[in-house]
Structure formats: C-alpha cells, structure tokens
Structure 1
Amino acid sequence: MTTSIINSQKLSDEPGNSNFRLKDIIKTVPRECFQQNRRKAWTQVLLSVLAVALGYYSLIVTPWFLLPLAWIFTGTALTGFFVIGHDCGHRSFAKRRWVNDLVGHFFMMPLIYPFHSWRIKHNYHHAHTNKLDEDNAWHPIRPEVFENWDTTRQSAFKLFMRKRLWWVGSIGHWAVVHFDWRNFKTKDQSSIKLSVAVVVVFAAISFPLLVATTGIWGFVKFWLVPWMIYHFWMSTFTIVHHTAADVPFATANKWNEALAQLAGTIHCDYPRWVEILCHDINVHVPHHISTAIPSYNLRLAYSSIKENWGPYLHDECQFSWPLMKQITDECQLYTTDVGYKTFNEHYEHYTEQ
C-alpha cells in the first residue's frame, strides 16, 4: 500500500481520530528547531534586501530582450520579502511582538499586502487546514456549490482550471479578502485599518512618484511585472502545498488536526535558487506542525518529521509544468468523502442522474 493511499484512508476512515494529536508530533521535533536565532533571522533580511536591490539594478541596466529573466529574479526575490513577513506574522521572527509587527509591515508594504489582515486570515488557515468550508487559503469547490453558481461564474472557474490560470489565484484572494476590515472581528478591526493605511499611504506616495520619474512603462517594468511574478509564486506555493488528487479535505466531524497537517501538506522541491531566495518556504510540512518554527529551521525539523512520522507523509514532488498540469487537470471539483473529480466526470454523473 502506498503512502498516498495510507494518507487517504487515515483521514477518511477514522472520524475525529481523537487519539492522534498534533502535540504528540510536536514533542518529537528537536527543541532547537523552535529556537529563534537573531543572526540567522537578520541574515535572511540582508539576503532579501540585497537580492531585491540586485534585481532592480538588473532591471535598470538589462537590455529589453533579457528583461524577462530580470523580472523573474526580482519577483522571486520579492517573494523572500513576503516570507520574512510570514515569519513575523507567526511571531517566529523575533521575540518581541512590536519587532515582528514593524518588520512585517515594512517587508509586506512594497507588496501592497496589509500585514495584520494577512496574519489573521493566515492563522485561521493553520487552525483549519484541509477542512471543508473552513480552510480559507485554498479549498476545493464542491459540485453542489459549483451547480449553484451562475453560468458566468462557472465558466470563469472552468477557464481558471483548464487554461492553467492558477498563478493569478492569489491576486484575487489578496484583493477580495484583505482590505475590508468589516470582514474581521471587532477586536481586530483597528489593527486591520492600520495595516491597510500603511499600504495605501505607501502606494499613494510611491506609485505617482514612480510614474512621474519613469512613466507608465516604468511603473509596469519596476513594480507591476515583479509583483505579478511574486504572485505567481504565492499562488503556486499555496496550491501545491495542499493539492493533489489523493489529498483529502474532511468535513468538521471527520477532521483531525494532526493528520491534516501531516498528510494534507505536501513537500515540493523547487530549483535551489528559488528555495534560497524564498527562504525554504517550500519545506512546508514542519511549518504546519508548528508555526513557531522559524523558516531557517524548517529543513532540520522536516528531517526529524520524516524520520518519526514518514508513513503519514504525502509523497514528495518536484515543481514542474507536468505537476501543475496534473493538478489543474485532475483537481477540479471535490465530492465530500469521495475526492476530486474532473469537470467531465461531474457532467457525466450529472447527466446520468
């Protein structure tokens, strides 16, 4: 029996799995994985700042026919900015909260990402990973939900999957979820307003200045395209971390936190330069075991988790076009307690009824 089949059965055949607890997994992770290291944290900051600076310098001096390479490098380096903000959002960057908040705002500001909005929504994702109707980072669309959509929305979703448009997914999530403080609890709204104000002020100053000094093309060249490359990685990391034909999403009564984090989170290897610039965010299983593990300790933690909990882990994969094609071709609609179906399989079943 393969690991993937074990995972699927574990999550679907043992409702609640009350004897399998996340804290039991955490206890097996070496204590040093949770220790914050100021030198390593600020070294990551320095690496990202230098990489982004190098990226923008390359955009200035690179001839037009090499601009795509410079854009890819710069956008990937900017993703490192987000990962630093990501650690800050989980309070794993520094011991002092105000340092996490300050650094988090600073590094997410150029991405026009409200820090506290993202932090609160993302922590909710960790609390409900792979739980149907609750996970807010990436969740499959159920057939009954799909059928209740109007024709326009159905067509848009089918186009999104069939035309491999996964890479714009995080842009929609960013735009819809993170700017309206009314979607958050009253106690959080003042923090949300602060974070939204930070990015609005940044955009109000930097965008007109950029256009005034470099023109519309300068805005596209120096901000818009690198920002879209950053969202390519955001969308890709998000969908790959939790999506495969054999990764189940469970209803609340059958959901187990420990199994969801182990079997429902996928380790994917990317080109080494991407992993360096993005601070190993692809080593995602330990991050779901505990958000207290800083990004520079993820590989050490993952080695321990593989040693102690290997049979529960999903098979590792390698980032590639065939992988993304497989995900978008196979993981289109999700039937509760059954799994993913393609649009064609859904319509065949629908017409048979």
Structure 2
Amino acid sequence: MKGGEGQREARAQHGCELVHCRLLVRNRCCCLGPWEENHQQGEEHVHPACIILEPDVLMSCSPEANLPDHVGGGDNAGNFLDENWNGIGERKVQRKEKETERRSIMGAGGRMAEKEREKQELLGRTGAGTAFQRSPMDKPPFTLGQIKMAIPPHCFQRSLVKSSSYLVHDLVIVAALLYAALVWIPALPGMLQLGAWPLYWVAQGCIMFGVWVIAHECGHHAFSDYPLLDDIVGLVLHSWLLVPYFSWKHSHRRHYSNTGSLERDEVFVPRPKEALPWYTPYIHDNPVVHVVLIVVQLTLGWYMYLPLNTWGRPYPRFACHFDPYSPIYNDRERAQIFISDVGVLAVSFFAMLKLVSTFGFWWVVRVYGVPLMIVNAWLVLVTYLHHTHPALPHYDSTEWDWLRGALATMDRDYGILNRVFHNITDTHILHHLFSNIPHYHAMEATKAIKPILGEYYQLDATPLAKATWREAKECLYIEREDSKGIFWYSNKF
C-alpha cells in the first residue's frame, strides 16, 4: 500500500475531518491539522477526532519525523503526545485486554457517579448568589482515546439519508409555517393577527435555528461522508440565513481547537477585572443595566460579531469575518471567504431586494426578518450559556491543554427545544470532544461517556431565563485564586 493511501485509510477509520492530517509519528496518529497553517497562525492543537489507532493500520514513520513545535515547542511536543495517549496499549494489544481496560475505566467512572448526581442536583437548584461546586482543577485522569473507546462505533457513522431526512423535516415545517403566515394569518381578524404574528415569529425562528444547527454540522463534516457535499449544503443553508459559511466554519474550528484558552479562544473570551470599564463597579448590580446588556447582546450581538469581531479573540489588527485578508484566516482559506461573501450577497442583495420590490419591505421583515433575528438570538444565547458559568474554569498558557479546554463547557437543558435544536444544547460537551459525531447519535454517545468523565461532566438544568440572568449578573470578569494559571468567574468589587 502506498503511503498516501495508507494515511487516507487511517484518517477514514478514526474519522478525522481535516484533509491535511498526515503526520504519523512512532506509529501513533498525531493530527495537528494542516501544520503549515499552525505555523502561520501560531495555533497549536490536537484535533479532537484523533486518538491512537491500532498501529497496523498506520504507516510506519521514523521517530525523528518532522513534528511541529507543540505546546511550548520542541521537546514538549513528544511529552504532550506521551501524556495524551498514554495507556492505550502497545502494537499487539489483544482485543480481550482492551475490553478489560474499558470495563476498568467504566468502573472507575461509576464510582464517581453518585458525586456527579449530587453536583448536578446542586447546579439545578442554585440561584443567583449561590456557591457552585466547580469543575475539578486537576488534569483529567483519562485520555481522549479512553473516552472514545466508551462510545459505540456506530455513533461515528454518518448517514447522508438520515441527515437529509432531518433537514427535509425542518424545511417542511418552515414551509408550512410560511404558508400559515401568507394565507391563514392575514385572514384572521385584526386583534387575532396581533397575537398570531408573534407565535409565527417564535415558531419559525426556532425551526430555522434547527436548520442552522444542521448547516453547522456540515462545517464539522458530520452531515455525510462527502466533504464537498457537506460544504455545498452548508453554504446554501447558511447563505439563506445570512451566515458566511466558510468564514464561520474556519473561525469556529479555531474555537474548538482552543476552547477555554484565554489567549486563543475565539468567542466569549472573558476579561480580567482590570480590563473592565472604570464605571463597572457603580452599575454592575443595577438590574436595569443587566436587562439592557442582555437585550443588546441577543438582538445586536451576532451583527456586531461578524463584521467587528465583538466579543471575539483580540487580534493585532482589525478582524472581520467578511474580509478574506482578516487575521482570522490564512492564505489557503481566503478564496473560500470570497465564496462565503458571494453567497451572503446573493441572498441579501438580490433575493431580498427582489422580494422587497415585489411584496414590500415590511412584508419581508414580518415573514423573514423577525424570524432571522430570533435565529441569531438563539445562536448567541446558546453559545453564551455553553461557555459562561460560575463552575467553569478558563486557563492561561501555563495550564491549558486541549482536553481540559474541551471539558470546560456546560451542557444545558432546554426542555422540548433540545429536540428542536437537534440536541446541540444538551450534548455540547460531546460535541467539543468529537465534533464529527452526527446529532442523531449525540445523546447515545453522551450517555456512554458520562461514566468516564465523572465529575468532569457538567450539566445545568436551571431554567433558561433564570440561567441567563444569573450568568449575566455573576460572570462579569475572571480572576485567579492562587498562583496557578486557572481563572474563575467573579462579580465582586
């Protein structure tokens, strides 16, 4: 077998979505993504889909292979690999021994289950001002490979037919709601129309956010086994929702590569106390201020993030998701940013202008504009609540590693909306660990990894409005509580 074919086979077996994954070291799979890009951008990470494979499916490679400097550079690269893949087994590990190891790990996680349940009950009961049981500060006693061993293999299988069925299901509901808005609501008496339109906006906005989630899965190569098809479907759907598909895909991938890192995370990066405006201590406890900030964030946040990178990672120069030469992107991604811009322009300027000229501006606002604002509000809120919680740590470069960062997220319970949003809400920790698992396998996979994660699994069932208010009030800035590079949210002045 030729080297390239062997490496493609290896990537196919472990589900890596990066076509440039090609570095095989000491018969281990080291997926650092396109390493030239990592050198250009300074991004150093291990891709979440990669674990140790059976060595006989990988091509042999000299131990002195060219390995990019990783986690501080040079010798630390080998140490990092040894840390993250220690204990998976040697070349000739037998299936029976691996199953024994898996059962041992499951048993260890089970011993933490009672403490985990107590913690989740505490999180579900707490309100503003209540102390939280924080995530463990120690490095996890398990590896990414051990987590993956607990997941049934079929959970990593993508079905074009099944993924398409969910998309068609959502689009049929969108079409039915649109029909109701065009035919039924105008036929209602005036007062009933005033109540019917808000119902349409909320329902349509929620279903359209479900479509947004499926388009987002295309960006993670979780829709089908065909990357080109995934990109075409994602481009069409996200352009319809006025999202620059490739721009979002690449910056979002960097968020997943650097979650929890104070220096490198891409979105909702918390600020230290000294970086807050001077007037914060005088207004931080004012409920009116909190209401205004929440409303601004939900209504304008997405429109401020895309063109201005508001609430995003600081860059040395102006960063914009529509600019192909933005520092967010590298040279190989710039052509795709142009394509994303064309997709958004085609919808916003040509399709929308045609509809406005035919039906009128306020017709477009009622039928499309308001539901789209609800989609964007859900996007901001869901992302915010996943990564903002008093129990979640953030790390500086002295403490951060990929696995700790991926676990520094919070699953949330949105009730019936969990299904409407394709479980992106209550399986987000799994999604950060294995972003190429399709949403229809996410619940099963989450249940499988809970015994492994134990106390490192975080779920907060606090009602949505209460959780939003609490996080906005209590998570104002971050501070370290000892000499370590671990930071926690606070609101004390």
Greater Cα offset, 191-200 or 173-182? 173-182
The counterpart of 1:117, out of the listed 236, 247, 262, is 247
How many angstroms does 1:267 deviate by? 1.3
Separation (CA, whole Å) in 1 of partners of 2:214 and 2:304: 22
Q: Are 1:167 and 2:270 counterparts?
A: no
Given that 1:270 and 1:318 are in contact with CA atoms closer than 8 Å, whether structure 2 keeps it comes out as no
Residues 255-278 of structure 1 show CA distances to partners (whole Å, capped at 9, x for unaligned) of 13223323x221111131x22332
3-state DSSP class of the match of 1:8? coil
Alignment: residue pair count: 333
How far does the alpha carbon of each residue in 1:209-236 deviate from its partner, in whole angstroms, 9 at most, with x for none? 1211221211211221111100111011
Q: TM-score, normalised by structure 1?
A: 0.87
* Equivalent position of 1:350 in the other structure: none
Determine the structure 2 residue equivalent to 1:317.
461
Cα distance in 1 for partners of 2:452, 2:488 equals: 28
Query: 1:310: Cα distance to partner?
Result: 2.6
Matched position secondary structure for 1:64: helix
Cα distance change of structure 1 residues 277 and 51 upon mapping to structure 2, 3 Å threshold: farther
2:389 corresponds to 1:244: yes
Q: CA deviation at 1:181?
A: 1.4
Amino acid in structure 1 at the alignment position of 2:250: I
Residue 339 of structure 1 corresponds to which residue in structure 2? 488
Residue deviations 1:52-90 (CA, integer Å, cap 9, x gap): 112222322222321111001111111122111111101
Q: Secondary structure in 2 aligned to 1:253?
A: coil
**Separation in 1 of the partners of 2:161 and 2:477?**
45
In structure 1, distance between residues paired with 2:217 and 2:289: 30
Please tell me whether Structure 1 or Structure 2 has the larger radius of gyration of its CA atoms. 2
- In the alignment, which of 305, 315, 321 is matched to residue 178 of structure 1? 321
2:298/2:377 contact within 8 Å kept = yes
Q: Which residue of 2 aligns with 1:276?
A: 419
Q: After TM superposition, give the deviation of residue 330 of structure 1 in Å.
A: 0.5
Q: 1:38 aligns with which of 151, 155, 160?
A: 160
1:1-353 alignment, distance < 5 Å: 3=119, 7-10=134-137, 14=138, 17=139, 20-60=142-182, 61-62=184-185, 63-147=193-277, 161-163=290-292, 164-165=294-295, 166-168=297-299, 169-176=301-308, 177-183=320-326, 184-262=329-407, 264-272=408-416, 274-282=417-425, 283-336=427-480, 337-342=486-491, 345-346=492-493
Q: CA RMSD in A?
A: 2.5
Cα contact 1:306–1:313 (8 A) shared by 2:
yes
Alpha-carbon distance, 1:24 to partner: 2.8
Q: TM-score, normalized by length of structure 2?
A: 0.63
Instruction: Name the CA distance, whole Å, in 2 between partners of 1:237 and 1:306.
Output: 21
Indicate conservation of the 8 Å contact 1:18/1:256, yes or no: no
Paired with 1:297 and 1:318, the residues of 2 have a C-alpha distance of 25
User: 1:206 is paired with a residue of what secondary structure?
Assistant: helix
How far does residue 281 in structure 1 lie from its aligned partner after superposition?
A: 1.2
For residues 6 and 277 of structure 1, the distance between their equivalents in structure 2, rounded to whole angstroms, comes to 30
Q: List per-residue Cα deviations over 1:135-177 (Å, max 9, x = no partner).
A: 1122212223225x8x79x999x98755323423333223334
Q: Distance in 2 between matches of 1:201 and 1:175?
A: 18
Contact 1:124 1:136 in 2 (8 A): yes
1-structure distance, mates of 2:358, 2:430: 45
Higher relative helix content:
1
SS at match of 2:276: helix
Structure 1 residues 51 and 8: CA distance shift in structure 2, 3 A: same
